[in-house]
Structure 1
Amino acid sequence: MKKYIALIFFFGLVITTSLAQKVEIKATNKALNDILIELRDRYNYQFSYDTDLLASYNVSINKSFSNKESAIIYLLRKFPLNYEISNNVYIIYPEEKIFQYRILGQILDKENLEPLPFSHITINDHPMATDELGNFSFTSTTDSTFRILASHLGYFIHDTIVSYDKAHKFLLTSASTDLEEITVTDKIVQTFIKESNQAGNLKLNHKIAGFLPTNNDNSVFELLRLQPGILAAGEQKDYLIIWGSYEGESQVLFDDITLWGLKNYYEDIGAVNPLVVKNIEVLKGGFDARYGERVGGIVHITGKDGNKVKPSINLALNNITASGSYEQPIGKKSSLLLAFRHTYYPLFKDDQIKYATSNVNTDEIEGTIPEYVDLDVTPNYRFRDANLKFSTKWNNGDQLNISIMAGEDRYSYDISNELLAASRKHNFEGSYQNGGSLKYSKVWKSGNSSSLSVSRSELDRNTTEQTVIERIRFTEMNVRRDDRSYNNICEYSTKFQNRFVLNEDQIIETGLQYTNDAVDLKEDSLGINILHLDSKLDKIGGYFQNILNISNGVTIKAGFQVNYPINLEKLYWEPRISMSFKITDELSFNGAWGLYKQFISKSSVLSKSGKYRYIWVGADEETVPVLESVHNIIGGSYHKNGFTFSVEAYHKRTDGHTRYYRWRNQGNISLGKSKSVGLDFFAKKDFGEHTFWVSYSLSKTTENFDYFREEGEYLRALHDQRHEIKTAGLLALKPFYLSANYIYGSGFPIYSGYNNINSEPDYQRLDAALIYKFSHKKIKSEIGILLHNVMNKENLTYESFERVPLSQINSISVYTESVPSSIRLYFKITI
């Protein structure tokens, strides 16, 4: 009985105590100090506070609380007040104000006020990078003055000290500008490449390309192919193979415009006019959540805004094309840039190809057969393109860029023979690419930034292949073939991006994107439609990532992309994470892991003759799956006294390749997967104003398709190459500049049958250049002699060959060789 009485007493005490602690507050627009007086009288509170301070805060409330402290917490939550309890006394005091010192800035070219994108900034020993427009912001709670070290590839480092709460413009001097008024040495070649402490990322100084044995038509891609991890052998004309990626799996962006691949049959003309290029950033793999759309690599090219200081003219003429650009300031804040290129005479001459007739089946041919037969080849070629860009900037730092581009590449040839066979062959391929983008960027007063961009890009490709055979020797025949193909891809894209600088150690980046892709493919044979694919893909997506400096030299970047293709009605998540460790000022390491998906891709088409071609298709998860790839990257670099050494290893697995092939007169779609693994080494040394570098890539790419004879069997991919060595050097003997580069590749496999590699010819090419620079008053000029393929190696381009029928059962393969030994002369003038 006593136990029950004690238990009832205990629960009664608990209930009584709980009821005693319950606090009710009712007030309408009453001063906070008056409310606390009522609480003191009703609930036996004890307070210590500044009456005048609390009288300035009014409260409206009708709420009950379970205990005294929760009531105080609720009352103070909206005001800059804090409290602590000492001997049951609530001491209320104002929060200590934390001062934040903020700096805003932009990095610009001193000569023409061009914004310098993705420049490197060190602020009070905190490394960071600017955005596409050279903008940056930084916040500190300890320092009101900031030491700034600003650098950009090809520019002298700017070192200064500035104060807070002010927007600053930092003007960098180009190292490749002739400086007549000061005595600073013109160190053009010291920093032509920057391997940032981010896995798979490097930045290229396009200014250096003008001193290499490239040319003013294709210096962008010639510079890219000299970098480790980007395949040089095979001389791809309209796309890049980066770390084993297949055609269409890497993306080239120019001012946010997707370049689908303006195929240039004359491989010395690139799809981007070098006269309008300002910055090149290469993401070989493992890139962060801001980038999507591809499972391979990304090349981000930023175009010039145009000179805002004075009108500028660039004219270049060589024995292939005429090109030029004009930059016109509009007021003090705007500029207009125009540029063009055009082939001014037929590049290819009529020629003959000698073919050994011993390779032809002659059982049905009577009479004496000559040892060789001449095929008369008549080619016709034209290339032209144009760029237009308008840029303007407001006093508050907002900027608007409008960029438009268009290009055309038309190539055709006729092959005929009257000796062994009365046959004619006509081939035509025309590529037409156009696009435009509008981008508005804003820097907020808080130092955060936002941008809105809208872009459109389109590629039309038409091909015609006609063959007529009237007789073979004395046998009358009537064989006719007329195949035509039309492939169009068009993309509309809208991106809204934000960058929030929370503090000196944390940055948040977010974005939303809408993409519409449409693919149209038509194929006719003798006027009969044999294939028509029409697919559309609407996709809504976004990204989020957190950049965190957890200690000096250690940075973690973690985030994800999420995409929702409307036709697939499914969410696709792509997590990414990367880390960088700066051990010392000279030594650093990095690593990255990421999942990547691609919703439009290029499918390979294998014809009965064994010829490969590629068509754009959209994923439907039925016949064409979504491409998916996992990237694993680790690397490190060392820099000291003009010497740079880096090593990077990667492993990639990609699922969802598609290949169309014919089997027993039926079309089939095969699904495949691939594995790529490799190791890149790079070393560069500067000797005063001279520089030399070498890179070596060890790689392996294998593939498995479900039509392979053995399940799970992996064969070498068509672009698999085990070894590639690239070396280059530049001597600055002003006003003369001597340069050379040499590339060796161990070669691609050439299959003569299933899993039967017939040959693997290696690739070798040596180029050299001699450039003379001179100036008169404000006119700068240069004359160059470019020696291409000095050793005249007969290299085969990747997958470029034609099969020319001599009868219904006989055909020959005409391989397209790379650039033969040739001399390119050019003259360039800048006013």
Structure 2
Amino acid sequence: MKRIIIFLLLGLVFSNISAQKITVTANKKALSEVLIDLRDQYDFQLSFNNDLLSAYIVSLDKSFSSKDKTIDFLLRKLPLNYQKSNEVYLIFPEERITQYRIFGQIMDKESLEPLPFSHLTINDSPMATDEQGNFSFTSETDSTFLILASHLGYFIHDTLVNQGANQNILLTAASTDLPEITVTDKIVQTFIKMGNQAGNLKLNHKIAGFLPTNNDNSVFELLRLQPGILAAGEQKNDLIIWGSYEGESQVLFDNITLWGLKNVYEDIGAVNPLVVKNIEVLKGGFDVRYGDRVGGIVHITGKNGSRLKPTLNLTLNNITASGSYEQPIGKRSSLLLAFRQTYYNLFKDEQIKYASSNADLQGQGLGKALASSLGDLDVAPDYKFHDLNFKFTSNWENGDNFSLSLMSGQDRYSYDITTESYTNAKKHKYEGNDQFGGSINYGKVWRNGNTSSLSVSRSELDTKTSDVVSITRIRTNEEFFRRDDKSKNNILEYRATLKNSFVFAEDQNFETGINYINDEVNLKEDSLDINILHIKSKADRIGCYFQNNLNISNGVSIKAGFLANYPINLKKVYWEPRISLSLKLSERVAINGAWGLYKQFITKSSVVSETGDFRYIWVGANEKDIPVLESVHHVAGGSYNNNGFTFSVEGYYKKTDGHTRYYKYRQEGNISLGKSKSYGLDIFAKKDLGDHTLWISYTLSKTLENFDYFNTNEYRRALHDQRHEIKTAGLLALKPFYISANYIYGSGFPIYSSRNKIVAEPDYTRLDAALIYKFYPKKTKCELGVLFHNILDRNNITYESYEKIPLDQINSISIYTETVPTSIRLYFKITI
């Protein structure tokens, strides 16, 4: 009996096991039919769309231990899902988010030049293109995109396109130099555009050709007319942006670092205007894509060259000859060559006076008598300059691009001064600069619309100076004072940067990048043929950044990220977090703000001589006697735009630690560490009246500093501190004549005595004007222009060129050099 019961139980168990086993056998059978067979054979309870599932074919021979595992396996690789309710399997399509992508490039319609950092609004989401004009956008709701594209100096383009790659958008320039142009129902942004980021503005360099700026220096002249960029003082080697010190702001040309904007006598700048396409200024609070400076950034993008037809530009004025040639190579490549060369000495005896004054700044004793008897010193400096630019560019059909940019420049400046009173003082000064640079840039547009770019660059500046002063007594011809100082300063930089932009959603994209920078500084100084200083430093570092760009509804945009640098010699990671906010209250009103931490690993230290002269040398940070510069930026502002009227106001506050200054005290050299704080307010207003434009800007600022050799905790006014600056300019387009003028007023810089007391603060005023005539003989475009510099003939004091020449052991005369006198410049330009 027991055996019978055992056999019955085993049989029941095996029968249950056999009942749970489900076998599916199908050969290229519709899924709907397979499920029907399961329903009939194994009592599956199913609910599904027969037409939907019949589209999926199944080939299978497999057994399963349960109904759930059977359904899971059948649906595992298909866009289907199911729910189980009361033993009923409800099968339905899987919800998948469909993403529609669009990407392409913004280009000039006439030359097919890519337009960098153009502004776009796609389906009400604001964005900007990269430096090659590329853009990418993703939508989850619509495959049709409403695009509003704009670039300074171009008509706004409004279009509707469908999804797909290479949606190139061609913009028409407002100034095409055609004899006649008719424009209807079009809006153009003429001169300046405040970006949707705090401290950011974009400049239309095309308009610089209509302003009273010399053809060889229109880039610098255009920059100095902007709010927040110092114009008074006519500094020739650098840009002072929002109180930054010399060397703390960076100028990039095609990703090549320019170590000095050589700008002697306001006539020749480091960048040839014939090769400039776009200028973007980041005064402060900029995002993590830019690093290595605690001041501002000026990003200049060079022209690629025409891909449609050969183009020749020649310009001749009474100082220099310049030209450029653009040659298409095939349908997608181009070559550009440009040069500038002085052929006539820039200075003449009657053109420049070196104002001698304030011998013995306390105004007492022999020095006062000498100052009144010396009068002005006539000097004829010798100046020579030449430079070359070369660029090859290629664009592929898939949106990829490649460019090779090379540049070189050389200038030589020297003068001699002789004074005669009861002593004979002679001074000889020489300065020579050689700038070399090159970059290779490759941009990649991926199939999913993401973009990458790789840039490798090399930049070098060699500077040699000589300063010889000798004083002899006329009666005895005895030399009782002599100074013979020579210096060589070389800075070399290698830079490699990989940038990536990933579009994840309609309102969000990520930007990441990695870079390697190597800086080498070599400084050697001799006095009376005796080496007194030799500094060699190397600063190589690895950096990376990450940034999240989020566009929230109702016009709110947030950028948040960090930049991390690892200087190999310092063996320490330096973090630089940054965040910015932009809020578009309406189509006319926007406000923005930014905060960030900024580091700088090479610095331009100031050197103070025994006579009180200031000069600057590049050095690398070592965290011993040369600290890493660190600055914190706070920026907030707003703008209003309506019917050709633009008004903006922007405030900033910056604190910077780590300044270094070499000074001599009792024949010993010392290094002093310092800190500074700068704050100010920029106000800008512009009005377009048809083809005419008028703008005005006002800057209220204050920059204070404290160095440990002050022996006090009190802050003093920095040498470049200026309280007020007003700049205004206007352009009348009376075709074919164009009349323009600009006026600059600055309240002046402090001049300190040997006792660190402010003894003078002369203001700065300058009025310039221009008259230009355009005409079009046959198939050429021609310009004739006359430029009037410093019409009021103000004897302004320059910021950088203040010097003292000793007359004896007690007294000295002050020399203020290189101010712009009243002068007229004539030029002729032809484009073929």
Give TM-score scaled by structure 1 length.
0.89
Deviation, structure 1 residue 91? 4.3
The letter for the 1-side match of 2:314 is: L
What is the alpha-carbon distance in structure 2 between the residues aligned to residue 403 and residue 498 of structure 1? 22
In 2: Cα distance, 1:589 partner to 1:776 partner: 48
Matched residues in 1 for 2:435 and 2:759: separation?
Answer: 37
Secondary structure in 2 matching 1:617: strand
Contact 1:469 1:806 in 2 (8 A): yes
Give, in whole Å, the separation in 2 of the partners of 1:54 and 1:77. Answer: 12
> Taking structure 1 as reference, are residues 428 and 550 closer, same or farther at Cα in structure 2, changes over 3 Å only?
same
Equivalent pair of 2:155/2:187 in contact (CA under 8 Å): no
**1:471-520 alpha-carbon deviations (Å, 9 max, x no partner):** 34336235432211011110000000111111211111111100000000
Q: Deviations over 1:235-283 (max 9, x none)?
A: 1112111111111111000000000004333322111110000000000
Query: Is 2:590 aligned against 1:591?
Result: no
**Structure 2 letter corresponding to 1:274:** P
Map of 2:438 onto structure 1: 436
Q: Is the 8 A contact 2:374 2:421 kept in 1?
A: no
Q: Report what 2:3 is aligned to.
A: none
| Change beyond 3 A, Cα 1:505–1:478 | same
Which amino acid in 1 is paired with 2:197?
A: Q
- Aligned: 1:168 with 2:167: yes
Contact 2:497 2:513 survives alignment (8 Å): yes
Is the CA contact (8 Å cut-off) linking 1:187 and 1:689 kept in structure 2?
Answer: no
**Structure 1 residue 812: Cα displacement:** 1.6
Q: Which residue of 2 aligns with 1:301?
A: 300
Match of 2:672 among 670, 673, 680: 670
Correspondence for 2:467: 465
- Please say if residues 147 and 162 of structure 1, whose CA atoms lie closer than 8 Å, have aligned partners that are also in contact: yes
CA distance in 2, matches of 1:519, 1:665: 26
Alignment of 1:237 onto 2:222: no
| 82-91 or 592-601, larger mean C-alpha shift | 82-91
Bigger mean CA deviation after superposition, 189-198 or 211-220: 189-198
**Equivalence for 1:790:** 791
CA contact (8 A) 1:189 1:208 kept: no
Change (3 A) 1:509 1:753: same
Counterparts in 2 of 1:419-458, with a 5 A limit? 420-458=422-460
Structure 1 residues 397-423: Cα deviation after superposition (integer angstroms, max 9, x where no partner)? 211010001111110112224553344
Cα distance in 2, alignment partners of residues 84 and 314 from structure 1: 73
1:176–1:187: 8 Å Cα contact kept in structure 2? no
CA distance in structure 2 between the aligned counterparts of 1:206 and 1:184, rounded to whole angstroms: 21
Deviation at 1:437, TM superposition (A): 0.3
| Partners of 1:697 and 1:540 in 2: CA distance | 37
Contact 2:591 2:639 in 1 (8 A): yes
CA distance in 2, matches of 1:208, 1:687: 15
- How far has the Cα of 1:73 moved from its partner? 9.2
How far the C-alpha of 1:308 sits from its partner, in A, is 0.6
Q: Where do 5+ consecutive residues of structure 1 fail to align?
A: 1-24
The answer for the alignment partner of 2:493 in structure 1 is: 491
> 3-state SS of the aligned residue for 2:220?
helix
Q: 1:497-544: per-residue Cα shift (whole Å, max 9, x none)?
A: 111111211111111100000000000111111101100011100111
Contact 2:156–2:171 (CA<8 Å) still a contact in 1?
yes
Mean alpha-carbon deviation: is it higher for 147-156 or for 579-588? 147-156
Letter in 2 for 1:493: R
| Cα drift, residue 100 of structure 1 | 2.4
Please list, as runs of the form range in 1=range in 2, the aligned pairs for 1:536-551 lying within 5 A after superposition: 536-551=538-553
Q: Distance in 2 between matches of 1:754 and 1:46?
A: 100
Q: Which residue does 1:402 correspond to in 2?
A: 404
8 Å Cα contact 1:242/1:250 also seen in 2: yes
| Displacement of 1:368 | 12
Quickly say closer, same or farther: Cα 1:442–1:368, change in 2 above 3 A. Answer: closer
Structure 1 counterpart of 2:249 = 250
CA shift at 1:765, angstroms? 0.7
Partners of 1:795 and 1:186 lie apart in 2 by 46
1:602 aligns with 604
Q: Relative to structure 2, which stretch is displaced further, 756-765 or 258-267?
A: 258-267
CA-based RMSD of the aligned residues comes to 3.6
CA 1:53/1:362 → structure 2, altered by over 3 Å: closer, same or farther?
A: closer
- Per the alignment, residue 774 of structure 2 pairs with 773
SS of aligned partner of 2:206: helix
Cα distance 1:726–1:343, how it changes in 2: closer, same or farther (>3 A)? Answer: same
The residue that corresponds to 1:22 in the other structure is none
Q: Deviations over 1:428-450 (max 9, x none)?
A: 11111110000010111111111
Deviation of residue 667 (structure 1)? 1.3
Q: Distance in 2 between matches of 1:458 and 1:350?
A: 34
Identity across aligned pairs (percent)? 69
Comparing 806-815 with 89-98, greater Cα deviation is found at: 89-98
Map Cα deviations across residues 639-669 of structure 1 (whole Å, 9 max, x no partner): 1111111111111111111111112222111
Gap change, CA 1:578 and 1:804, over 3 Å in 2: same
Aligned residue for 2:131?
A: 132
User: Which residue of structure 2 aligns with residue 702 of structure 1?
Assistant: 704
Matched, 1:269 2:271: no
Q: Which amino acid aligns with 1:804?
A: I
The AA in structure 1 aligned to 2:782 is S
Shift of 1:379: 2.1
Aligned to 1:645: 647
Q: How does 1:292-331 map to 2 (within 5 A)?
A: 292-331=291-330
Instruction: Work out whether 1:762 is the aligned partner of 2:763.
Output: yes
Letter in 2 for 1:328: Q
Q: Does 1:611 align with 2:610?
A: no
Question: In structure 2, the residue corresponding to 1:507 is in which secondary structure?
Answer: strand
Count of residue pairs brought into register by the alignment: 801
Amino acid in structure 2 at the alignment position of 1:696: Y
Q: Say if 1:96 and 1:657 are closer, same or farther in 2 by CA, change over 3 A.
A: same
Deviation, 1:144, is 2.1
How many Å separate the matches in 1 of 2:704 and 2:395? 50
Pairwise CA distance, 1:139? 1.9
How far apart, CA to CA, are the structure 2 residues paired with 1:382 and 1:358?
A: 32
> Does the CA-based 8 Å contact 1:189-1:689 persist in structure 2?
no
CA contact (8 A) 2:357 2:813 kept: no
Supply the distance in 2 between the matched residues of 1:787 and 1:735 (Cα, whole angstroms): 19
- For residue 801 of structure 2, give the secondary structure of its aligned residue in structure 1: strand
Counterpart for residue 573 of structure 1:
575
Confirm or deny that 1:191 pairs with 2:190: yes
SS at match of 2:168: strand
Q: Is the 8 A contact 1:519 1:617 kept in 2?
A: yes
- Per-residue Cα deviation, 1:90-140 (whole angstroms, up to 9, x for no partner): 645442343322222211111111111111122222222111111112222
Query: Alignment partner of 2:548: what SS?
Result: strand
For the Cα contact (< 8 Å) 2:592–2:636, is it kept in 1? yes
Q: Distance in 1 between matches of 2:521 and 2:534?
A: 10
Q: How many Å separate the matches in 2 of 1:129 and 1:231?
A: 28
Residue 757 of structure 1 and its aligned partner are, at CA, apart by 0.9
Mapped partners of 1:814, 1:468: distance in 2: 16
Q: 1:75 to 1:727 in 2, by over 3 A?
A: farther
Equivalent AA in structure 2 for residue 299 of structure 1:
V
Question: 1:657 aligns to what?
Answer: 659
**CA shift for structure 1 position 805:** 2.8
Kept in 2, the 8 Å contact 1:599–1:626? The answer is yes
Deviates more, 1:801-810 or 1:117-126: 801-810
Structure 2 distance, partners of 1:501, 1:357, is: 63
Q: What SS does the aligned partner of 1:290 have?
A: coil
**Quick one: distance in 2 between partners of 1:54 and 1:521?**
76
Q: 1:250 to 1:52 in 2, by over 3 A?
A: same
Structure 1 residue matching 2:274: 3-state secondary structure: helix
Letter in 2 for 1:254: F
The one-letter code matched in structure 2 to 1:253 is L
**Aligned partner of residue 266 in structure 1, secondary structure:** helix
> Gaps (5+ residues) in structure 2?
1-21
Provide Cα deviations, 1:338-389, integer angstroms capped at 9, x if missing partner: 1111111111234776857986999999x99993378563421111111110
In structure 2, the partner of 1:21 is none
| SS in structure 2 at match of 1:168 | coil
Equivalent residue letter for 1:765: R
Q: TM-score when scaled to structure 2?
A: 0.89
Can you list the C-alpha shifts for 1:50-72, whole angstroms capped at 9, x where unaligned?
9888985999999x9xx999999
CA distance in 2, matches of 1:74, 1:568: 58
Pair 1:249–1:85, CA change in 2 (3 A): farther
Q: Distance in 1 between matches of 2:724 and 2:94?
A: 65
